[in-house]
Structure formats: structure tokens, C-alpha cells
Amino acid sequence: LTRLRDRLARSGSPLGSALLAVLSRDSLTEDDWDEIEEILLLADVGAGPTGEIVDGLRTRVRVEGVRDPAAVRAMLRSALLEIIDPELDRSLATQRVTREDGVTVPAVTLVVGVNGTGKTTTVGKLARVLVADGSSVVLGAADTFRAAAADQLETWGARVGVPTVRSEREGGDPASVAFDAVRRGREDGTDVVLVDTAGRLQNKAGLMDELGKIRRVITKEAPLAEVLLVLDATTGQNGMTQARVFGEVAGVTGIVLTKLDGTAKGGIVVAVQRELGVPVKLVGLGEGPDDLAPFDPAEFVDALLG
């Protein structure tokens, strides 16, 4: 995770220098507080959390008569951390489970999100991490909408050395591919099945239908262990809108925030977690196979504050 800090720092230390400049002033005026608010908003912390943080901070600074910039910074750090909540369970389900009928089945992880956010890449990188940790993995290419998506996933599978279950034809039924992948995983005694889905956000009803069907069909075979929502950190408040919709229809258990390497807007972590109430579990830090890291709240806030 030193890399997380390095990468964020390289993308222009999101909050660091600007905040430090304000906090170094003798006493904080209304204008200074407005500036702090603006800096947090620019980093995509989101209007709600930003207001909450700045109001709390301003009150404490006044009541406790705090003057030292380092002390204000420390308060800001703990306010951010409080929202991100280091106590949340950020582990991933990787253990096989036993069904009511005594049959042991894989931990099934559904990966959802809008196209282009990095779903397929995340599935590939995650498979690599799991295999390195000694787990066996099957990939399911339930994004049957684009033929290229299944090809891309299969390439990752080959690279990582795990099988990919896919439809023979473009436009096949995503739910049946998901089912086949889970069954293959059960038959092979696989630990984890990762199911990549299509992210056509044409309308909420359509998305709900498609994901609902995939969920129903998978759970005939095995309970869903995890639903990971992939969000692109560079899309800012757009990403928040997507997060809300998927949060409502997909039963999200964790968030993967991708492309953190390419943005100074890491504050989206704060916004998304406050909004959805589910933890960010993983972050994407590049396009390569090793560019996926577990999310560490304290390291992240330190990186954000620069």
C-alpha cells in the first residue's frame, strides 16, 4: 500500500498542499472555511459529507480554541476516517460454503457496474490475487452483450490459469452463463466463482430485471457470497448516481474503486461509502495484473491529505 500512497501523491496529492496552505493561516476566517469546503468538494468528497465534516470541524475549532494547523489537520483526518469507518469488515468471501442439502459450493461473487468502469479488468486482477493466495477460481462471462467482453475475460483467465465459462454466441442469456459457471465451479470443487456482468444502465427497470434474473438463477445453485460494485473514481458525481442505482437493485456488499491512479478525486471514497453504507474493499491502481490493492482506510486518508 505504499504504492497507493505513491500513486495518489503522484496524481497531485488530492487535498494536501491546498489544505496545508489554508490551515497555515493564523486564525481561520469564514473565507478560509469556505476554501476548505471547496477543496473537499473538488476532491469529490461530496456535498453531504463535506458539509458535515466542515461544520463539525468549525465548531470544534471554535469551542476548543484550536490554533495549531497540525491539530486542525488531525481533526480533519479523524473526521474523514470516521465516515470511511475502519471498523467495517473489508474481507472478501473466499470460502466454499455448505448448502442446506449438505452439498459444498463455491463462494460466488457477482461483479456489477456500468460498462467501461473496469469490471472485466477487476475480475481478472482479482482472480490473480485469489490464485496467488491458493484459491481455485472459475470465471463466468455473463456479459454476453459484447462478444469482446467474453474474449477479454477469457484472455485474463488464460493469463491467470483459470477456466472461463462463456456463451457460445453473442447475445446469449447472461443468467444461464452465470448458472453454468457456478455449476462448473461446484462440480470442480472450486473455491470462488467470479461472475462478470454487463452494465447497460439503459434504465433502472431493465437493469433490475437482468441482475434480478442472474441472482435468482445463481442462487438455485449456490448462495451469493458477494456482490461487488465497480466504480470509476474519475467519473465523480456521475459515479455516485450509478452507485445509488446499483445499490438499490443489486444488493451490493462491497465496492471496488478503479482508476484511482488517474485522479486527484479520491474523495469519492468518502462520498460513496456514506451514501451506500457498504465498504470500499478494493482499489484499482492501473491496468496491469498487479494493480489491485485492498483498501486500507488509514493509509488512504493519509494519502488523501498528502
Could you tell me which residues are annotated as the binding site?
113-120, 196-200, 258-261
Q: Is 201 exposed, middle or buried (0-12, 13-18, 19+ CB in 10 A)?
A: middle
Phi, psi (deg, nearest 5) at residue 180: -60, -40
Residue numbers belonging to the annotated binding site for GTP: 113-120, 196-200, 258-261
Q: Select 73 or 200, whichever has its Cβ closest to ligand GDP.
A: 200
Q: Select 47 or 148, whichever has its Cβ closest to ligand GDP.
A: 148
- DSSP letter at 17 equals H
Question: In angstroms, what is the minimal distance from the CB of 281 to ligand GDP?
Answer: 14
**Contact footprint for ligand GDP (CB under 6 A):** 113, 115-121, 199, 258-259, 261-262, 284-287, 291
Q: Is the dihedral of CA 124, 128, 133, 134 positive or negative?
A: positive
Strand partners, 109: 194, 226
Q: Select 37 or 261, whichever has its Cβ closest to ligand GDP.
A: 261
Residue with cell 496552505: 21
Question: In angstroms, what is the minimal distance from the CB of 252 to ligand GDP?
Answer: 15
Q: Select 157 or 199, whichever has its Cβ closest to ligand GDP.
A: 199
Q: Select 112 or 218, whichever has its Cβ closest to ligand GDP.
A: 112
Question: In angstroms, what is the minimal distance from the CB of 297 to ligand GDP?
Answer: 19
CB count, 10 Å around CB of 91? 10
In the chain, which ranges are continuous DSSP H helix? 2-10, 16-23, 30-42, 47-64, 69-84, 119-132, 147-160, 174-188, 204-221, 236-250, 268-276, 297-305
Cell numbers of 136, please? 481455485
| CB-based contact 156:129 (threshold 8 Å) | no
In 45-107, which ranges are continuous DSSP H helix? 47-64, 69-84
Question: In angstroms, what is the minimal distance from the CB of 286 to ligand GDP?
Answer: 5
Q: Select 18 or 228, whichever has its Cβ closest to ligand GDP.
A: 228
Question: In angstroms, what is the minimal distance from the CB of 256 to ligand GDP?
Answer: 9
Strand partners, 256: 230, 282
Cell numbers of 282, please? 478494493
Residue with cell 465548531: 59
Question: In angstroms, what is the minimal distance from the CB of 98 to ligand GDP?
Answer: 32
Amino acid at 267: G
Q: Select 191 or 196, whichever has its Cβ closest to ligand GDP.
A: 196
CB count, 10 Å around CB of 305? 17
Closest residue to ligand GDP, based on beta-carbon distance: 284
Question: In angstroms, what is the minimal distance from the CB of 93 to ligand GDP?
Answer: 21
